[in-house]
Amino acid sequence: IKERGGSAISALTADDHERLNRKALIERRLIHALDKKNLEVLYQPQINLKTGDVEGVEALVRWQDTEAGIVSPDELIPIAEENGMIHEIGKFVIETVCRQLKDWTSRNIPMNVSINSSIREFRDKDMARLFMEHLTINGCDANRLTIEITEKFALEAEAEHSIVRQMKQLNQKGISFSLDDFGTGYASFRYMLLLPISSLKIDKDIIQSITQQEKMQKLINGMIQFGKSLDLQVVAEGVETKEQLELLRVMDCDSIQGYITGHPMTANELETWLKHS
Ligand code: C2E
Ligand code: CA
Ligand code: CA
Ligand code: CA
């Protein structure tokens, strides 16, 4: 509900109504879906540009509901961050990934998995402990895990100390951290200064503009060299074309992830894909 002049409440437009209804439906159905574990995790390969090796996969949540239909992460995650259900989604993803890693390990399929985590989740002072608990319960090797954190939020001063401490704790247990959506946020320098980050992921919108202007190419090249000068692994996300790939190769980018090498896929599809890659 919007307020105008501090007192009068303006009427909601039809669009506002639709958005609020959709949000309410998603919230209601999400509780149900989490309870029934009706969400899914897909895996998208990340390829080393020099060796062609699969470095690992990124776990991406998927949700298709009988009433809400397909709810994309871009719609789902902001709502879940707002109402706190992000913690339950995070738990579901960690559990699913750990179970999958265990299965792959038992069948001699070595794999590293990145999971996305909202920095908001780390505001919870118990996040690191909960995270390690999930790993232990599910018999998961922390060294196989990377947590991708986005720089879409600034580190809030009050929460900063706790966030930094928890990430360092997890890092000491073997978990790596990657700075996601690099180039789109505003907090990157502070993040890089304080957090135990070992890789940078350049955002897909930036990568996709690589062929548009020469200035953009220079910017991306600068980002890659910047990451390297800090000894960070640089990953380009959202690579779709051969032209983009070749430019990134010339710029000495470490690895790529994108439709050109593989879409997000189920664990079974990934295994088939691995056999043919
Ligand atoms: P992200 O972490 O930047 O993930 C990359 C997104 O780009 C994914 O969208 C992926 O499917 C998509 N993508 C990959 N390759 C290409 C390509 O070549 N072209 C294009 N156009 N897109 C490509 P997705 O899966 O819809 O996820 C959107 C965002 O939602 C993610 O962005 C991430 O921030 C968030 N997200 C996804 N899964 C989770 C999760 O389990 N937990 C949390 N906290 N956030 C998640
Ligand atoms: Ca890596
Ligand atoms: Ca990511
Ligand atoms: Ca991104």
Of 116, 182, 261, the residue with max ligand 1 atoms within 8 A of its CB, to mutate for a pocket test, comes to 116
Tell me the C-alpha distance between 176 and 148, whole Å: 9
pTM over 0.90: yes
Q: What is the pLDDT of residue 158?
A: 76
Instruction: Indicate whether 2 pLDDT > 60.
Output: no
Instruction: Indicate whether 134 pLDDT > 70.
Output: yes
Which ligand has the nearest atom to the CA of 206? 4
Q: What is the pLDDT of residue 204?
A: 95
Collect residues with CB below 5 Å from ion ligand 2.
Answer: 233
pLDDT tens for each residue of 249-265: 999 999 999 999 999 99
Is the CB of 186 inside a 6 Å radius of any atom of ligand 1?
Answer: no
Evaluate whether ipTM surpasses 0.95. Answer: yes
Please give the distance, rounded to the nearest whole angstrom, from the Cα atom of residue 257 to the centre of ligand 2: 12
Is the CB of 196 inside a 6 Å radius of any atom of ligand 1?
Answer: no
Is the CB of 61 inside a 6 Å radius of any atom of ligand 1?
Answer: yes
The residue nearest atom 36 of ligand 1, judged by CA position, is: 73
Task: Give one DSSP letter per residue of the chain, joined into a string.
Answer: --EETTTEEPPPPHHHHHHHHHHHHHHHHHHHHHHHT-EEEEEEEEEETTT--EEEEEEEEEEEETTTEE--HHHHHHHHHHHSTHHHHHHHHHHHHHHHHHHHHHTT----EEEEE-GGGGGSTTHHHHHHHHHHHTT--GGGEEEEEE-SSPPPHHHHHHHHHHHHHHHHTT-EEEEEEETTSS-HHHHHHHS-EEEEEE-HHHHHTTTT-HHHHHHHHHHHHHHHHTT-EEEEE---SHHHHHHHHHTT--EEESTTT---B-HHHHHHHHHH-
Least confident of 27-36, 48-57, 182-191, 236-245: 182-191
Query: What pLDDT band is residue 186 in, cutting at 50, 70 and 90?
Result: low
Q: What is the pLDDT of residue 137?
A: 87
pLDDT tens for each residue of 13-65: 889 889 999 999 999 999 999 999 999 999 999 999 999 999 999 999 999 99
Query: What pLDDT band is residue 138 in, cutting at 50, 70 and 90?
Result: confident
Query: What pLDDT band is residue 192 in, cutting at 50, 70 and 90?
Result: confident
